[in-house]
Amino acid sequence: MREPTTPPPPPHRIHLPTGRTDRVDRLLAEALPAFTRRRLQQMLAAGLVRIDGHRARKGDLLHGERWIEVELATPAELELPPEAQPGVAVLFEDSSCVVFDKPAGRPGHALRSGERGTVANFIAARFPECVGAGDRPLEAGLVHRLDTDTSGVLLAARSRAAWQALRRQFGERRVDKRYLAIVHGALGEAGEIRRPIVSAARSKVLVVAEGAGARRAQQAVTRYRPRSRTAQATLLDIVIPTGVRHQIRAHLAAIGHPVVGDTLYGSSFDWAGRQLLHAARIDFDHPVTAERISAESPLPDDFLAAMGRLGLELRRVR
């Protein structure tokens, strides 16, 4: 029988009063004088500091009345336990970076110290140098994210210099990210969705009209092209030059074609136990040689099975 676990203590709360503006790291240093600056930075990197349910970054500038929640952790807890099993397939590997084939249902990075079962835990065991490459040890050098139920390519850096170079490419939109998705309904023409996105809750985002929620809105662009369709569903090729949380899922739902299985954004049926979204390919400049690198992930079995049930094929619609 599994031993009962002691629930974690409630988070420490820090209040930012109305009329004050300050950075998160300064507020933490002021409110927690017993903690060293390095320890506070580790806690930020580990995702232990949250604002409105979202992970805080040390440079975040806060305005007006806000509450910051901090999970107080000992130095020993600010660690990523290495886990060699279950393994994750490697699609590309050299001395600077690694591309993994993330399975659906497995988180990419850890959110809290001591968390297990993520791709980052596997990276810590197989490529331990990755843990120190990025700003957040719990992300184990990963330079972008995939939702837990999204499968496919996931890129990590093996050195600080490589991580910075790859992150710069993402910021400059020089990384090509290509996805396959099965959506509700028949989409016969290629199109582009260019609408901003705002966080609505801890687990969801909202697509808004241009200019609405301007202070918090993130610009997002999703381009899609049908590959196969029936009256019930369409298989889409998707390219996103931007990388906003839940971007593809929210954008497609906003035009009336939610991803099949994505019940959070309006899917009416679920044949695979997850949203049928797959990160099929990534193209980036090698952080040292500048050679263009391409890595592809084959479609997983659950995705192929759903295509078969829906009568979809891997072909281009004319």
- With a CB cutoff of 8 Å and minimum separation 6, the contacts of 275 are 147, 149, 150, 249, 259, 260, 261, 262, 264, 267
Identified catalytic residue from 25, 147, 237, 302: 147
d(CA 144, CA 170): 8
Cα torsion for 301, 305, 311, 316, to the nearest 10°? -10
d(CA 175, CA 168): 10
Pairing of strands 66-70, 12-16: antiparallel
- With a CB cutoff of 8 Å and minimum separation 6, the contacts of 134 are 140, 141, 142, 143, 157, 160, 163, 167
d(CA 168, CA 237): 25
- With a CB cutoff of 8 Å and minimum separation 6, the contacts of 215 are none
Is 52 catalytic? The answer is no
d(CA 250, CA 254): 6
Q: Which residues are catalytic?
A: 147
